[in-house]
Chain A
Amino acid sequence: MTAPSRVLITKIGFDGHDRGSRIVAAYLRDAGMEVVYTGPWQEIADVVALATQEDVDVIGVSSLATDHLLLPELMTALKEAGLGHVQVVLGGIVPDQDIDGLRAAGVAAIFHPGSTREQIVDEIARLAGQARSAA
């Protein structure tokens, strides 16, 4: 039996609306994953410490306003902490013009409001497998 995937669901920046994160956390739990849930207002250094301690395979960040612009900084911080294998995905409202930059920074997937439950679960499961074999 393979061990369940571990996913950190979190929010960085100033926006406190965490309804989306809660829904995604429940999707992932129902798909058999272990979800560490932190709530909003985390700083980059918090997310790095959380991902370190919890040894997660995937970090899911939700952003409704401009918080996604912090992701390139997060990616760098993760690499510096020796967590380059951890996959980072973003969900929420992301303007089209920001997508290329986020992809270039190494964000593995971006889920828009229209994404289905199946798309989210399947993609995160795939990325978790990838992270674990790279760890």
Chain B
Amino acid sequence: MTAVPNNSNSLLERLLSGQAIALAKSITAVENDTAQAAELLTGIQPHLGRALVVGFTGPPGAGKSTLVNALIVELRRREQSVGVVAVDPSSPLTGGAILGDRIRMSEHTRDPGVFVRSLAARGHLGGLSPMAARVIDVMDASGRDVVVVETVGAGQSEVEIAEIADVRVVISAPGLGDDVQAIKAGILEIADILVVNKADLPLAERTVSQLKSMLSLREGEMAEVPVLSTTATTGEGIVALADAVEERKGVAVTAEDRAARALQRVRRLLADATAQRVRQLIRAVDGANVDDLCAQVQRGELGVDDAAARLLRQLQQPEDRDGA
């Protein structure tokens, strides 16, 4: 008999049982922040924290997607089920996106043990979709052993990936313009594992030694970060990468770790969400008032900071506007 999805159970139940179509629908719900999402997110809470979340970040073209593909091969060999969240930027002009990471992972399309979801960053300035953390939670709840998150190292994404992932893999490759400089400042700091991919290219060794000498300038823990060479296209070095990921799982991922990171993330999300609301409020403030403030700033009568403070006061006491 064909497996027609059983709709008599709730979406939450079907998600928890690991059904692919329920996982897909749940991701859509949390990504679009629908009414159903709140219910789902509450319902999955007791089922979270089982998956190992591995972040893959680095410049475009470094071979992240190809490397994720190769890692999936190894994880499947180790009988782990895998979820992948592949994030690509949205066009800032139209909001649209072409999501092509999974082209590199097509050998796993029909493997029920592998579920790949492409996400657009949706206007989020960091490389990560604002909903990525929730999508990861949903994958976790569906029983995936490992969840790999691929993001372009851009904007605030390294901060976000650092908060979300249990193991942070930063990928570089030779021949990306400035070589090591192509790894953004700040991105090295979050790495648990550094990978120089495209080890088959002639300049790879130089990239490795550059990275190692950069690391040797750091104190303490940074100096311990392993630098691995991989050739994602052939699978060379992938076993060592999978081992390094597993090692981190044993060492660094304690429950307290996760709880502290989760709290930090929620704090940042709260700040972001509040800022978003304030922005909306400001847009709704009646135009004449804002125009007046702008004119004063333009004439040099008022600093931008002072004008902002006044605007905030107006938002807190909207009735003041009428009294003027």
A binds B: yes
**Interface, chain A (partner B; CB < 8 A):** 3-4, 25-26, 28-39, 42, 45-46, 49-50, 52-55, 80-83, 135
Offer 17 A-B interface pairs, CB within 8 angstroms, sorted by A.
A3-B32, A29-B91, A30-B94, A32-B94, A33-B96, A37-B98, A37-B100, A38-B103, A39-B106, A42-B106, A42-B109, A49-B109, A49-B110, A53-B117, A80-B4, A81-B21, A82-B4
CB < 8 Å neighbour of B91 from A30, A42, A83: A30
Q: Residue B103 contacts which of A4, A39, A53, A80 (CB distance < 8 angstroms)?
A: A39
Other than the given A35-B96, A80-B2, 19 more pairs (CB < 8 A) read A3-B31, A3-B32, A29-B91, A29-B94, A29-B96, A31-B94, A32-B95, A33-B96, A34-B120, A36-B99, A39-B103, A45-B110, A46-B106, A46-B110, A49-B20, A49-B109, A50-B109, A81-B21, A135-B25
Residues of A within 8 A of B90 (CB): 34
B94 contact set on A, CB distance < 8 A:
29-32
Q: Contact: A4 with B4, CB < 8 Å?
A: no
Residue contact B109 to A4, C-beta cutoff 8 Å = no
Task: Answer whether A52 and B20 are a contact pair too, CB < 8 Å, given A29-B97, A35-B99.
Answer: yes
Q: Which residues of B contact A82 (CB under 8 A)?
A: 4-5, 21
Q: How far is the CA of A28 from the CA of B116 in the complex (A)?
A: 22
Contacts of A83 in B (CB 8 A): 21
Q: What A residues does B12 contact at CB under 8 A?
A: none
Contacts of A26 in B (CB 8 A): 98
How far is it, in angstroms, between the C-alpha of A30 and the C-alpha of B27 when the chains are bound?
Answer: 24
Q: Interface majority SS on B: helix, strand, loop or mixed?
A: mixed
Name A33's closest neighbour in chain B (CB-CB): B96
Q: Is the CB of B25 within 8 A of A55?
A: yes
Distance (Å) between the CB of B186 and the closest chain A CB? 28
Count residues of B near A (Cβ-Cβ below 8 Å).
Answer: 33
| Cα–Cα, bound, A28→B96 (Å) | 7
Q: How far does the alpha carbon of A29 sit from the alpha carbon of B94 in the complex, in Å? A: 8
- The 10 A-B residue pairs with the shortest CB-CB distance, nearest first, are A29-B96, A3-B32, A82-B5, A55-B24, A32-B96, A32-B94, A37-B100, A55-B28, A80-B2, A32-B95
Residues of A within 8 A of B102 (CB): 36, 38, 50
Chain A, Cβ-Cβ closest to B28: A55
Check if B314 is an interface residue, CB within 8 A of chain A. Answer: no
Residue of B nearest to A77 (CB): B2
**Contacts A55-B24, A55-B25, A82-B5 given; does A25 touch B98 at CB 8 Å:** yes
Q: With A and B bound together, what is the CA distance between A30 and B174 in angstroms?
A: 32
Interface centre among B32, B97, B102, B117 (most CB of A within 10 A): B97
